[in-house]
Amino acid sequence: MNRTIVFCLFFVLAAMPAWACIGLENERPTLKPNKSAGESLHALWQTQPGLVDRDGMAMPLNDQQLLEAMLIKSRVTKKKVLDSGITKPLRLDLDYEGRRFRGVFRHVHSTKERLKLKGELHRFFQDSYKLELAAYQVAQTLAIGHVPPVVARGIEGRDGSLQLWVENAVTEQKRRKDNLDFPEGFDHYKNKQHMLAFDLLIYNFDRHEGNFLYDENWYVWYIDHSRSFKVDSGLPNVERLHIVERKFWNKLQSVSKKELNKRLRGHLNPMQLAAFHKRRENLISYISTLIEERGESQVLYDWN
C-alpha cells in the first residue's frame, strides 16, 4: 500500500454534494497484484465482519432468516434516545430467546418539495427510515456488503426501521480524535473507493466521518442513509472513483431491473426508483469507460 495516501476531511462544495475525499500524490495509483491470504492479513480486514451480541458471541450473518427473526421478534428491554444524528433515533436493548443485542430504531419520515442543504438545492427531498431499508437492499443485492442488517418494524405504535447495532465500534471521527492507527494490511484506499461507489449509486450526499465506522475486526460499516436516494440521475464527483471491487461490478451489470424493483419498490417512490436505475446505468457506463481506457487489471480488484 502506498504510504503517501492520506485521508482528507469530508467537505462541502457550494451547490455540490459532499463526497469522501482521498488525498493522493498520484490520483490514479497503479494497482498491485493481490497478495494471498497467507502473505497478508488483507483478506481478514476486508471480508470478516465483527458483528457480535452483548455477550461477545458472533451474530448469525450467514443465516438471513434467523437474523431477521431476531430483529423483528425480539423483546425491547431498554431504550435510549441517541444525541448523535439529526433525527434522534432510539438505541434499543433487545432480547431474543435469551440472546441479548442492541439495535437502532429510526422512525423519521418527512418530505419537502424543495429544501436547500449545505449549499445544494434538493427537490422532492425525503428524510425517511424507508431509505435505510432501501440502502440495505441495494447493498445485499449488489454484493456491496458493509451495511448492517436492517428490517422494517413498528415500535410503540410507530413504523420504522430497526438496524443491528455494531458493538465495540469506533467511527472515523473517533479514530482520528484518539489517533488510532490502522492495523497492518488494512487497505484504506480500497475501502474508501468501495464506499464511494456505494454512495454514488444511492446518491448519498451526507457521508461524513461520523457515519462510517470500524468494528472490532476493522471491518468498515456504512450507516445513516435516511437522506439518500435523491431524485437525481447524476453522479456528482464520480471522477474520484478510480477502482471498483470485481464482485460488485459483476453484480452491478448482471442483476435485473425486475429483481431490483422487487426489492426496492416497497421503500422508494416511483421518482426515486427511476433515478436510481438511471444512476446505475450511468455508473456502469463510467466504469466501462475506465476499464476501456486503463485496462481491467488497473480498475477491478478483489479483496483477497
Q: Please report whether residue 175 resides in a domain.
A: yes
Residue 288 lies in a domain: yes
Q: What is the pTM of this model?
A: 0.84
Cα(96)–Cα(107) distance, integer angstroms = 22
**In sequence order, what are the residues at sequence separation of 6 or more whose Cβ sits closer than 8 angstroms to the Cβ of residue 215?**
49, 50, 51, 166, 167, 168, 169, 221
Q: What is the pLDDT of residue 32?
A: 44
According to the model, what pLDDT value does residue 123 have?
79
Cα separation, 298 vs 293, whole angstroms: 10
Cα of first residue to Cα of last residue in the chain, in angstroms, is: 14
For residue 190, pLDDT over 90 is answered with yes
What is the tally of structural domains in the chain?
1
Q: What is the predicted pLDDT for the residue at 33?
A: 43
Rounded Cα gap, residues 290 and 124, in angstroms: 32
More confident residue, 48 or 236: 236
The pLDDT confidence band at residue 47, using thresholds 50, 70 and 90, is: low
Indicate the SS3 state at residue 284. helix
∠ CA 188-193-293, nearest 5°, is: 125
Comparing C-alpha atoms, which of 154, 163, 161, 129 is closest to residue 59? Answer: 163
Exposed / middle / buried, residue 63 (Cβ in 10 Å: 0-12, 13-18, 19+): exposed
Higher pLDDT residue, 3 or 300?
300
Distance between CA atoms of 243 and 187, rounded to whole angstroms?
13
1 lies in some domain: no
Asked if residue 113 belongs to a domain, the reply is: yes
Cα 63 from chain centroid (whole Å): 20
Task: Report pLDDT digits (tens) over 7-34.
Answer: 333 333 333 344 334 333 334 444 444 4
Is the CA virtual torsion 203, 192, 118, 15 positive or negative?
Answer: negative
- pLDDT bin (cut points 50, 70, 90) of residue 64 is confident
H helices, E strands: number in the chain: 8, 14
Residue linked to cell 423483546: 75
Give pLDDT, residue 114: 82
β-strand partners of 158: 155
Distance separating alpha carbons of residues 31 and 290, to the nearest angstrom: 14
pLDDT score of 119 more than 70: yes
Could you tell me the residue range of the domain that residue 222 belongs to?
6-301
Per-residue pLDDT of 123-173, as tens digits, reads: 788 999 999 999 999 999 999 999 999 999 999 999 999 999 999 999 999
The pairing of strands 300-301 and 244-245 is: parallel
Edge to edge, what strands does the sheet with 170-171 contain? 170-171, 212-214, 220-222
Give the span between the Cα atoms of 50 and 281, in whole angstroms.
Answer: 33
